[in-house]
Structure 1
Amino acid sequence: MNSSRLSQLLDFLKNDPKDAFTLYAIATEYKSTDPQEALKYFEILLQEHPDYLATYYHVAHLYLELEEDEKAEAAFKKGIELAQKQENALSLRELQNAYNEFLFED
């Protein structure tokens, strides 16, 4: 985690607390060092910005890391559905591959 980048992102969030990209960037910064804090920001995204597609791949993997398999599966499925709706072939392929891997390992 880059603490100066995180500090700057948190300042951006104070100025615009509803900005999806800033929330996503903060969650990503926390992901490797403080998974629970990352989860807090990812879940804000899921609630307040359910169409922010990038969230689903990362939150699903974080749920897996936290051994919350049911939530991970739901996130994969919702992300796949959203990628289809948004006609985002790259994200759809990434989510489907990750979901298939999850199913295979489960």
Structure 2
Amino acid sequence: MTSDQQSKIKQLARQIKNNPGDSFSKFALALEFRKQGDFKKARILFEDILSSDPDYVGVYYHLGKLYEALDRLNDAQTLYQKGITIANNQDKQRTEKELKEALQQLEIEMEERSS
């Protein structure tokens, strides 16, 4: 890990400590952990955002992809479906499209595995 990454992580962690409800900083920190391959810390942060701020629509795609990487395909599928509904309700068309594409790809993969 570079010193840049370390300082970014420390800065984000400080922001979260000062404002535990800051979904944006948690999301940014989760992305940093994921980039470094620390899927456990990333998952914990993404899941925390999901439970405390379920309207934070960006978390659905990234946590879904993380679940796919962890071979939790059913969880990813459920998450994408929920995210599509929330993105639609918020009129976030680009996010909705990304989630639909991720869901479609996942369902193809799941079908291929079961045959």
TM-score range, shorter chain: over 0.9
Q: Does 1:67 align with 2:71?
A: yes
Q: Does 1:102 align with 2:106?
A: yes
Counterpart of 1:23 in structure 2 is 26
Give the CA deviation at 1:77: 0.5
Task: Please give the residue correspondences for 1:50-89 in structure 2 after superposition, counting only pairs within 5 Å.
Answer: 50-89=54-93
Q: Percent same amino acid among aligned pairs?
A: 34
- Structure 1 counterpart SS, 2:20: coil
Give the CA deviation at 1:9: 0.2
Moved over 6 A (4+): none
Give the CA deviation at 1:105: 1.3
Q: Structure 1: give runs of 5+ residues left out of the alignment.
A: none
Q: Distance in 2 between matches of 1:104 and 1:73?
A: 11
Q: TM-score scaled to structure 1, two decimals?
A: 0.96
Q: Distance in 2 between matches of 1:101 and 1:3?
A: 34
Supply the RMSD in Å over aligned alpha carbons.
0.9
Counterpart of 1:12 in structure 2 is 15
Give the CA deviation at 1:94: 0.5
Q: Which amino acid aligns with 2:73?
A: D
Q: TM-score scaled to structure 2, two decimals?
A: 0.89
Q: Structure 2: give runs of 5+ residues left out of the alignment.
A: 111-115
Counterpart of 1:93 in structure 2 is 97
Task: Please give the residue correspondences for 1:40-59 in structure 2 after superposition, counting only pairs within 5 Å.
Answer: 40-59=44-63
Give the CA deviation at 1:62: 0.1
Give the CA deviation at 1:84: 0.7
Larger-Rg structure: 2
Q: Distance in 2 between matches of 1:46 and 1:59?
A: 9
